[in-house]
Amino acid sequence: MQTAHRAKSVPVPTEQIILFWISGQLFGVSSSAIQEVRSSDSLSGPSGEIFADALNKVRQITKRGDTTVYVVDGARHFGLQSTSGALVFVLRDTRTALLVDGIERMTTMTRLQALPKAFRSDERKWYRGLTALDQTVVPIIHPEGFLTPEEIAELDLSVAAKKLHLSDSSEETKFLQ
């Protein structure tokens, strides 16, 4: 028989995340940050010209309505061994999509620890923090950490200069290499 005075449990704040792979490395992203998941094959389109070397991590462009979205090669961004990339995450409220190798699973994160301050380079922009899951540590990516506003402006200029006219179709994509 249950007692009438059960201890009130305080709900632990949780967040749904998607664990995914890029070049053998596991990452996490908040599921609320993903607007759409597509096969990278569905982005195939005519070849264009490559962007400036500094932005060669941007492999493709695609359109979402009137907005140009830049597809970032996750392996190049993180300095990992190059892979073909099977899936594309279109990141909500950004002009970025991320090319990844595959999804591990969805899970729940109960604690996000800030990136230790000893990390002091680009990774501070890349990650929201770290979480411990099943005796492993997973970096949780920051959706806005792939392209800075300056880089997006540079990409926009590059697109305009090269007169890569995307059609209005949301399916239209151009490769940039």
Partner 1 sequence: MTVSLELELQSYVLLQLGEHRFAIAANQVAELVAPSRVFCFPHRTPNIEGVILRRGRIVPVCDVGEPLIGKRVTSRRYYLIAVRLYKTQSEWVAIPVTGECSLIHSDLNPPAESDATHVGGWLSHDGHVIQVLNLEALIPAHESDGLHGSRRQFAEAQR
- State in angstroms the smallest separation of the CB of 49 from partner 1: 28
- State in angstroms the smallest separation of the CB of 96 from partner 1: 17
Question: Which C-beta is closer to partner 1: that of 61 or that of 138?
Answer: 138
Question: Which C-beta is closer to partner 1: that of 43 or that of 100?
Answer: 100
Question: Which C-beta is closer to partner 1: that of 43 or that of 138?
Answer: 138
- State in angstroms the smallest separation of the CB of 92 from partner 1: 23
SS3 151: helix
Question: Which C-beta is closer to partner 1: that of 97 or that of 138?
Answer: 138
Count of all residues that appear for the chain in the document: 177
Q: Which amino acid is at 135?
A: Q
Q: How many CA atoms lie within 13 A of 127 on its CB side?
A: 23
Tokens of 13: 């704040």
- Return d(Cα 17, Cα 113) in angstroms, integer: 15
- Return d(Cα 153, Cα 84) in angstroms, integer: 26
CA angle 38, 102, 115 (to 5 degrees): 105
Binding site for partner 1 (CB under 8 A): 25, 27, 78-80, 113, 116-124, 126, 130, 132, 135-139
Tokens of 52: 């400036």
Return all residues near 101 (Cβ < 8 A) that are at least 6 apart.
Answer: 20, 21, 22, 23, 74, 83, 84, 85, 86, 87
- State in angstroms the smallest separation of the CB of 89 from partner 1: 17
- State in angstroms the smallest separation of the CB of 135 from partner 1: 7
Question: Which C-beta is closer to partner 1: that of 65 or that of 79?
Answer: 79
